[in-house]
């Protein structure tokens, strides 16, 4: 039986691959689940709950597949429930499936709220105690570790504390290694969590875990409260994925425990992996990352107001509660119509420009940004367009690598049930004065325009073959204007070395797309030449 130690290392139990998959719009393939398991292992997670064996083919396939991975730290857990009422443990199909998974850890969920015993299972309270004890004892004789998920523990404790604690004692006496207290409906308050955890801790020496849902936006706070009251295992999911409003978000729980409460969970190196793991899970779930997510979000350490930027340049502690590098994140300064001179200087230096604060170009850029943002431009997600703007202000003229003569895009739909066809024609003048006239088809107007433009430019600039358009967003500004409204287009592009964003604005979506597309290509060419120039200067300096 595991022992509780008030200051022991906190064990992290991830249920992204089971509870997280119950989140609306989240579905992982087998390959996704294996990739996530490797990421969780590398980031210091102690236990990875792989799913419910036998519940679906994907989970059935996961357990033999995960055994082929070289997990160095995490133990894999199979999840299931206690035996069915009226069925002997050795005959229970669910328990047999758990053993077939051949995991070193099994987690089983059982009823601890008398309402569920009475109205769901429809058995006596004593029979429920027998089910819990017999199921755990059966598994404990065959598996290294058995965790008991006390379903609806906090609701049960409020309704009938004596009976709910008897359920825990039945599990502990049968050999459960950890008693996991579940706020299954997510409706408890932190003070209620503390009281009930302390009552559970008073039962004896069995280790306690906490499993919170986020229906009151308190899953993280409740998990921390449970640790303060004696829990030594915390269950949750990456990015808070989970049924209804989700589970406790481990991307917040881990740094809060480690950096705020001084409770060791992972190594400092593993802590820095959290933004990466968060991004991988978002990407595999095909869900856009939540920018304002605490600690790991892109906006977690982003500063926009001029006064804030001026302050953090002098001392980052003025507006940052931790050093973002500790968590593997970075400080960002945004440029907008709220910006001051400090924002422009910060961004210019970030881009490698050695700019004097007294340089008139600072005011030129600031005035230009405010004018353009008033027209609908937005540079918060378009750093590349902003860097080109700075280059133009400092150099007196923007470097253009080609000149547009004309472009035309046509769409054609031949019949219902078949996709429309897009075709673009582009005429440009290259750097040597030569005219290129190209035509290309694509699966949409932007795709065909991109193909035609690159087809025209690659004879001059072969490096454009490695340019990729990664994301394309269109936002209607001033929706009351209907189809005459201004639109803003944001394009994310990248190559093998970096990613960048560009922006375009117009009442014509193709014109806005063209602006963002041209900026993307111009930035790629500008960036490559800048890198080559910097490399040449380093070689000269070394020589």
> With bands split at pLDDT 50, 70 and 90, how would you rate the model's confidence at 3?
very low
Q: What is d(CA 419, CA 461) in angstroms, rounded to the nearest whole number? A: 32
Strand partners, 499: 494
pLDDT (0 to 100) of residue 381: 66
How does pLDDT run across 362-380, given as a tens digit for each residue? 777 777 777 776 777 767 6
Where residue 542 sits, what CATH number does that domain have? Answer: 3.30.160.340
Same domain membership, residue 483 and residue 443: no
For every residue of 186-253, DSSP letters joined together read S---HHHHHHHHHHHHTT-SBEEEEEEB-TTS-HHHHHHHHHHHT--EEEEBGGG--STT-B-BHHHH
Does position 4 have pLDDT exceeding 50, yes or no? no
Asked if residues 250 and 281 have their Cβ atoms less than 8 Å apart, the reply is no
By percentage, how much of the chain surpasses pLDDT 70? 92
- Same-domain status, 36 and 136: yes
| Top mean-pLDDT range of 8-12, 71-75, 340-344, 477-481 | 71-75
- Model confidence at 1: pLDDT above 60: no
Q: Report residue 6's pLDDT band, with 50, 70 and 90 as the boundaries.
A: very low
User: 217 and 262 in one domain?
Assistant: yes
- Quick one: pLDDT at residue 447? 92
Segment 50-61 shows an average pLDDT of: 87
In a domain, 448, yes or no: yes
Residue pair 464/451 in contact (Cβ under 8 Å)? The answer is: no
Q: Between β-strands 403-412 and 421-429, what pairing exists: parallel, antiparallel or unpaired?
A: antiparallel
481-534 residue pLDDT tens: 556 678 889 898 999 888 888 989 998 999 999 999 999 999 999 889 888 877
Q: Which residues pair with 404 in a beta bridge?
A: 428
Q: Are residues 452 and 364 in the same domain?
A: no
Among residues 462, 460, 465, the alpha carbon closest in space to that of 450 is found at 465
pLDDT in tens, 255-270: 999 999 999 999 999 9
Is 162 within the bounds of a domain?
Answer: yes
43 lies in the same domain as 79 = yes
Helix, strand, coil % in the chain, rounded to nearest 5? 45, 20, 35
Mean pLDDT of all residues in 107-112: 97
CATH of the domain at 281: 3.20.20.70
5 — pLDDT class (breaks 50, 70, 90): very low
Helix (H) or strand (E) holding 505: strand 499-506
Q: How many domains does the chain have?
A: 4
Do residue 306 and residue 180 come from a single domain? no
**pLDDT per residue as tens digits for the range 337-364:** 555 666 677 767 767 777 777 778 777 7
454 vs 343 pLDDT, higher one = 454
Helices vs. strands in the chain: H and E counts, helices first: 17, 16
Instruction: Please identify, among 434, 460, 486, the residue that sits at the C-terminal boundary of a domain.
Output: 460
The reply to whether 438 and 497 lie within a common domain is no
Q: What is the mean pLDDT of residues 321-346?
A: 77
Please enumerate in sequence order all residues whose Cβ is within 8 A of that of 487, keeping only pairs 6 or more positions apart, or say none.
Answer: 474, 475, 476, 477, 505, 506, 507, 508, 509, 512
Can you tell me the mean pLDDT for 292-315?
Answer: 86
pLDDT at 44 over 90: yes
Q: Is 238 part of a structural domain of the chain?
A: yes
Beta strands (DSSP E) in 15-99 are 47-51, 75-81
pLDDT tens digits for range 274-288: 999 998 898 888 888
- Integer CA distances (angstroms), 240 to 251, 260, 506, in order: 8, 19, 38
Closest CA to 369 of 356, 352, 350, 382: 382
Q: In sequence order, which residues have a C-beta less than 8 Å from that of residue 103 and are 6 or more positions away?
A: 50, 63, 75, 76, 77, 78, 143
Q: Are both 152 and 235 inside the same structural domain?
A: yes
Lowest mean pLDDT among 51-55, 95-99, 163-167, 451-455: 51-55
Q: Could you read off the pLDDT of 115-142 as tens digits, one per residue?
A: 999 988 899 999 999 999 999 999 999 9
Please, what is the Cα angle at 470 between 466 and 473, to 5 degrees?
145
Structure tokens belonging to residue 278: 């968060």
Cβ pair 236, 281 in contact under 8 A: no
Q: Give me the pLDDT at residue 481, please.
A: 53
Domain of 436, CATH number, reads 3.30.160
At residue 538, the pLDDT reads 66
Span 231-235, average pLDDT: 98
Which domain does 103 fall in, by range? 11-285
């Amino acid at each position: 039986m595991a022992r509780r130690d008030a200051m022991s290392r906190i064990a992290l139990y991830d249920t992204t691959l089971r509870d997280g998959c119950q989140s609306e719009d989240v579905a992982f393939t087998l390959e996704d689940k294996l990739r996530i398991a490797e990421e969780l292992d590398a980031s210091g997670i102690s236990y990875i709950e792989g799913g419910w064996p036998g519940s679906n083919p994907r989970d059935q396939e996961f357990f033999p597949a995960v055994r082929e991975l070289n997990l160095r730290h995490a133990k894999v857990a199979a999840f299931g429930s206690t035996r069915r009422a009226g069925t002997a443990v050795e005959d229970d199909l669910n328990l047999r499936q758990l053993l077939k998974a051949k995991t070193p850890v099994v987690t089983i969920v059982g009823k601890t709220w008398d309402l569920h015993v009475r109205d769901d299972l429809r058995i006596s309270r004593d029979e429920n105690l027998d089910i819990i004890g017999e199921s755990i004892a059966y598994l404990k004789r065959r598996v290294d570790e058995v965790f008991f998920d006390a379903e609806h523990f906090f609701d049960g404790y409020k309704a009938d504390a004596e009976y709910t604690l008897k359920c825990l004692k039945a599990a502990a006496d049968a050999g459960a290694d950890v008693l996991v207290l579940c706020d299954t409906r997510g409706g408890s308050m932190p003070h209620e969590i503390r009281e009930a955890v302390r009552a559970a801790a008073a039962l004896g020496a069995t280790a306690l875990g906490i499993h919170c849902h986020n229906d009151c936006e308190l899953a993280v706070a409740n998990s921390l409260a449970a640790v303060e009251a004696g829990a030594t295992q915390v269950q949750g999911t990456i990015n808070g994925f989970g049924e209804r409003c989700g589970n406790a978000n481990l991307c917040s729980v881990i740094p809060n425990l480690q950096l705020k409460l001084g409770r060791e969970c992972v190594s400092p190196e593993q802590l820095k992996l959290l933004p990466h793991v968060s991004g991988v899970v978002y990407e595999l779930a095909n869900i856009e990352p939540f920018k304002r997510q605490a600690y790991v979000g892109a906006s977690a350490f982003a500063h926009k107001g001029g006064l804030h930027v001026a302050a953090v340049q002098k001392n980052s502690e003025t507006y940052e509660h931790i050093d973002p590098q500790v968590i593997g994140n970075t400080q960002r300064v945004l440029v907008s119509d709220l910006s001051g001179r400090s924002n422009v200087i910060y961004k210019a230096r970030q881009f490698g420009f050695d700019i004097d604060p007294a340089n008139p170009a600072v005011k030129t850029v600031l005035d230009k940004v405010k004018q353009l943002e008033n027209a609908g431009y937005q540079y918060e997600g378009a750093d590349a367009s902003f860097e080109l703007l700075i280059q133009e202000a400092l150099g007196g003229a923007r470097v253009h690598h080609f000149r547009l003569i004309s472009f035309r895009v046509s769409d054609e739909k031949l019949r219902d049930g078949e996709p429309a066809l897009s075709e673009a024609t582009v005429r440009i003048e290259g750097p040597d004065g030569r005219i290129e006239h190209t035509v290309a088809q694509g699966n949409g107007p932007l795709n065909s325009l991109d193909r035609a433009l690159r087809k025209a430019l690659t004879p001059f600039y072969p490096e454009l073959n490695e340019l990729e358009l990664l994301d394309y967003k269109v936002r209607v500004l001033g929706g009351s204007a209907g189809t005459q409204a201004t639109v803003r287009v944001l394009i994310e592009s990248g190559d093998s070395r970096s990613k960048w964003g560009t922006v375009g604005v117009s009442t014509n979506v193709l014109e806005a797309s063209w602006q963002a597309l041209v900026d993307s290509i111009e930035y790629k060419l500008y960036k490559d030449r800048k890198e080559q120039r910097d490399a040449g200067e380093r070689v000269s300096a070394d020589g």
